């Protein structure tokens, strides 16, 4: 059985790959930061705190937006990393198979991590 550390390293790796993929689909969209909401940032901050991670805030009204976008690592803001609008997914060059595969791998890792955590509290 995979250890938590191994799974967590995989989580960091694959959420980064998913982020790179979605970021490249967005390109230079004028609506960058389109789906960001303070309540999502708050949820992300609370989840990280539960894992013992203190996220630094920026001075932007959305607490984690820096000069180059969100400063939270992709694996600590899962729903934000996964999100890509319908318009971007309709581009002729959009690789649906890769997007679905990366999402599948990420959610499988999350399930396994959750199973490990549940087994520990039993």
- Which residues here bind ligand SF4, judged by CB under 6 A? 26, 29, 31-32, 34, 36-37, 40-41, 44, 62, 64-65, 70, 72, 77, 80, 84-85, 87-88
CB 102 → ligand SF4: shortest distance, Å? Answer: 15
Q: Quote the tokens at residue 25.
A: 């689909």
CA 74 to chain CA centroid, Å, is 4
CB 107 → ligand SF4: shortest distance, Å? Answer: 18
Q: Quote the tokens at residue 72.
A: 């939270």
**Rounded to an integer, what distance in angstroms lies between the CA atom of residue 53 and that of residue 94?**
34
CB 76 → ligand SF4: shortest distance, Å? Answer: 8
CB closer to ligand SF4, 85 vs 116 = 85
CB closer to ligand SF4, 28 vs 97 = 28
CB closer to ligand SF4, 7 vs 41 = 41
Among 109, 38, 57, CA closest to 78: 109
CB 89 → ligand SF4: shortest distance, Å? Answer: 9
Helix (H, G, I), strand (E, B) or coil at 69: strand
Asked if 58 and 64 touch (Cβ cutoff 8 Å), the reply is yes
């Amino acid at each position: 059985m995979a250890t938590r550390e191994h799974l967590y390293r995989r989580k960091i790796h694959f959420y980064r790959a998913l982020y790179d993929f979605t970021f490249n689909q967005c390109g230079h969209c004028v609506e960058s930061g389109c789906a960001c909401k303070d309540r999502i940032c708050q949820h992300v901050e609370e989840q990280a705190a539960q894992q013992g991670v203190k996220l630094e805030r920026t001075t932007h009204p959305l607490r984690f937006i820096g000069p180059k976008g969100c400063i939270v690592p992709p694996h600590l803001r899962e729903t934000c990393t996964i999100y890509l609008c319908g318009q971007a997914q309709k581009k002729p060059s959009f690789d649906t198979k890769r997007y679905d595969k990366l999402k599948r791998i990420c959610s499988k890792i999350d399930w396994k991590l959750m199973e490990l955590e549940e087994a520990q509290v039993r």
